[in-house]
A = this chain, B = another copy of it.
Amino acid sequence: MLLQIDFKSGKPVYLQLVDQIRYAAASGGLRTGEPLPSIRPLAEELRVNRNTVAKAYAELENQGVIETIPGKGCFLKESNSPFTKSARAKILTKEIDEAVVAAHHLQVDRDAFLALVKERLDSFERKVKEKSDND
């Protein structure tokens, strides 16, 4: 699982983590019982305060998505509500629509937009690969 933070989005960092982990959990990117990255290394990797990661995990526990076993770590609980395909599409549609609108205002045409999307996909896939190579 690759987590990515945008410090300037206005959205609190801990909520970005919560959303990303919740999405992964509800879509099979994380399996039941699988351990989440532990707080300290993750905080270091993301260049974020440990408290911020801890807060995200606390929130996730509160939502019943994960379970914290003191001294052992955090684990994904039985996935109680996996997203349906349409639910996933809905979330994603919202994100994509925002990018489409931004492109329109910035007067970026369809081709340039699609090219940029592909470029970002490639860049992201490279990052995922690097990470899995390191693990």
Q: Which A69-127 residues have C-beta < 8 A from chain B?
A: 69-70, 79-84, 87-89, 91-108, 110, 113-114, 116-118, 120-121, 124-125
* A12 on interface, CB distance cutoff 8 Å: yes
Number of copies of this kind of chain in the complex? 4
Interface residues on A, range: 35 or more
* Distance, CA A9 to CA B122, complexed state (A): 27
> Contact: A98 with B95, CB < 8 Å?
yes
Partner among B12, B79, B87 whose Cβ is within 8 Å of the Cβ of A10: B12
The answer, yes or no, to whether A62 is at the interface (CB within 8 Å) is yes
Indicate whether A50 reaches chain B with its CB closer than 8 angstroms: no
Q: Do residues A95 and B105 form an inter-chain contact, with CB atoms below 8 A? A: no
